[in-house]
Amino acid sequence: MASDSEIADLLHSRRYDPAILSTLEAYMERQVRGGADAYDAEANAAVLKLYQLEPDRLQGRTVVLILAKAIMALPSIDLLSCVYLLAPAQAAEASTAASYIGDDGPIRGVLALAERLEAGHFAQFWEELERERADGTALGKLLAEVVDFEQCVRRFMVGALGRTWSRMSPSVLKALTRDDACPHGWRMVTDADEQTVLETPVGSVLSQQPRAAGERLSFERLAPVLCRVGRESARARPRRR
């Protein structure tokens, strides 16, 4: 089994060599079992790239799992950049040009789930996920293999909610994330009506001080102005005498 540094070496030297596919696929399986922290976007992208260059070697299972791992990494652009790679590089004719996503396979299904997340339909995401699981579809089984899938999705959801709400009632949070624990960084507070509400990190910052919408300037950008000011004042001084 290849270590992480060996994988990195492999990617550096033989990124486009189909011979390394099996190693990378095994590596990917390891990420699937490894949970939230075991993730190597670059290696996975390389797998998809190799599938693109050698469509005959494609394995639907690997593609679905890679996409699932990319969903876990949201809101990074990993998922987006993977989607662009889901088309063969060389099509003999225009008629066979259709990408291998297929109309009704697990790849389409996992992308539909991702679409729900991006569109903010969190409740629907859970419903559909449950349906896949309950029906025992190929996608449902595959996603069940991915360790920490739900946990990572939930983390993404909490992040998005935390930027959109200043305070939120626990029932809404539960409806959207299917979890009643108070997320990390959020606080339980009691409002005027003696109801318990959750205050998001943004909300707690906001309640303490009005948000300063100031601009931030890096020193690098200011430096030439200061230089000029220095020069100009040096120039002006002798003239005044």
Partner 1 sequence: MEETAVSSSPETAEQALSNEAAAVPESVSPFLQRLYGTFCSGAVEELHSLYEATFTRLSERHFKNVPWPSAEAVARLLSAGGAGGDIDDEGDEGSSTDLKVFLLLYKELCYRHIHTRLHPTLTQRFESWENYLELFDRALDETLLEYDLPASWVWDILDEFLYHYEVYCQYRVRGRDNKTAEEEAYVRESGASVWNARHVLEYLQALVNKSGIGAWLQGDAAWAPADHGPAAGLGAASSATDGFADGHAAVDDADADDDDAADDACLRTADDGAPSAAPLAAQSTLYRHLGYYAMVALLRAQVSLGDYRMALAVVEPLELLEADAAAIPSTAPTAASATATGARDTRLYTQVTACHVSLYYYAGFACLMLHRYEQAIRLLGTTVHTISRTRQFHTRSYQYEHVNKRLDQMLAMVGIAHCVSHVYIEESLNAWLRDKYGERLTRMRMGELAIFEELYAHACPKFASPAIAAASKQQFMRDMRQFAADIHAPLRSCLRIYRSIHLRKLAEYLELDGSDEERMENIRAALLALKLKSGAAASGEGDGLATAADLDFLIDEHGLVRTQEWRPSRRHADYLLRSISRLGEQAALFRRVQRERLVASAAAHARKVEARRRAELTAQRQLEERERERQEREERERQAREAAAVVAARPMSLAERLRSGGGGGGGW
Binding to partner 1, residues 16-55 (CB under 8 A): 16-17, 19, 45, 49, 52-53
Q: How far is CA 222 from CA 5, 36, 225, in A?
A: 41, 41, 5
Q: Which of residues 66-125 bind partner 1 (CB under 8 A)?
A: 75-77, 80-81, 83-94, 97-99, 115, 118-123
Q: Is the CB of 1 or the CB of 213 nearer to partner 1?
A: 213
Asked if 33 and 147 touch (Cβ cutoff 8 Å), the reply is: yes
Q: Which of residues 161-180 bind partner 1 (CB under 8 A)?
A: 161, 163-169, 176
Q: Which of residues 178-197 bind partner 1 (CB under 8 A)?
A: 191, 195, 197
Q: Which of residues 204-233 bind partner 1 (CB under 8 A)?
A: 205-206, 211, 213, 215-217, 220-225, 228, 232
Asked if 89 and 53 touch (Cβ cutoff 8 Å), the reply is: yes
Q: Is the CB of 144 or the CB of 222 nearer to partner 1?
A: 222
Q: How many residues bind partner 1 (CB under 8 A)?
A: 71
Q: How far is the CB of 137 from partner 1 (least distance, A)?
A: 23
Q: How far is the CB of 124 from partner 1 (least distance, A)?
A: 8
Q: Sheet holding 167-168: strands in order across?
A: 167-168, 196-199, 187-190
Give CA–CA dist 37/151, Å, rounded. 12
Residue written as tokens 């190929």? 138
Q: How far is the CB of 111 from partner 1 (least distance, A)?
A: 10
Cβ contacts of residue 224 below 8 Å, gap of 6+?
none
Task: Note every long-range contact of 216-221, with CB atoms under 8 Å and residues 24 or more positions apart, other chains counting.
Answer: none
